[in-house]
Amino acid sequence: MYYTIVDEDAAKEFHRWLERKLKDLSGGQRQRVSIGDNVLFGPNVQLYTATHPLDAESRRSGLEAGHPIDIGDDCWIGGGAIINPGVSIGPRSVIGPAVS
């Protein structure tokens, strides 16, 4: 992954584009979402880094956790796909769209 410094206007335009592409980007625990180069997102893709315990007693305590998401270079994430906490998608992967 390459890191690039961009001016403020370009960064704002990128965020507007990303908001249109990603229906929901949840990072409540400030976990990292790493997106490689040349990654294509279909419409309404959802990325979630926040999670919670599975057992009811722990959930009642309000305990939450977060796990990073890594998406490699040259991936295609199909429309409506949901990427859950802790998922790593290798380079050149295709994630199928959600089907109803």
- CB-CB contact of 67 with 83 (8 Å): no
Beta strands in 49-97 (DSSP E): 50-51, 65-66, 69-71, 76-77, 82-83, 88-89, 94-95
Residue 68 lies in a domain: yes
Residue with tokens 């409540």: 28
In a domain, 1, yes or no: no
**Domain containing residue 19:** 8-95
- pLDDT 10s per residue in the chain (100 long)? 444 555 666 666 666 666 655 555 554 556 788 899 899 998 888 888 888 888 888 888 877 888 899 999 999 999 999 999 999 999 999 998 876 5
User: Cβ–Cβ contacts within 10 Å for residue 28, how many?
Assistant: 13
Active-site residues, by number, are 52
Q: Find the CATH number of the domain harbouring 81.
A: 2.160.10.10
**If residue 19 lies in a helix (H) or strand (E), which one and from where to where?**
helix 8-21
pTM: 0.68
Is residue 100 assigned to a domain?
Answer: no
Structural domains in the chain (count): 1
pLDDT at 71: 94
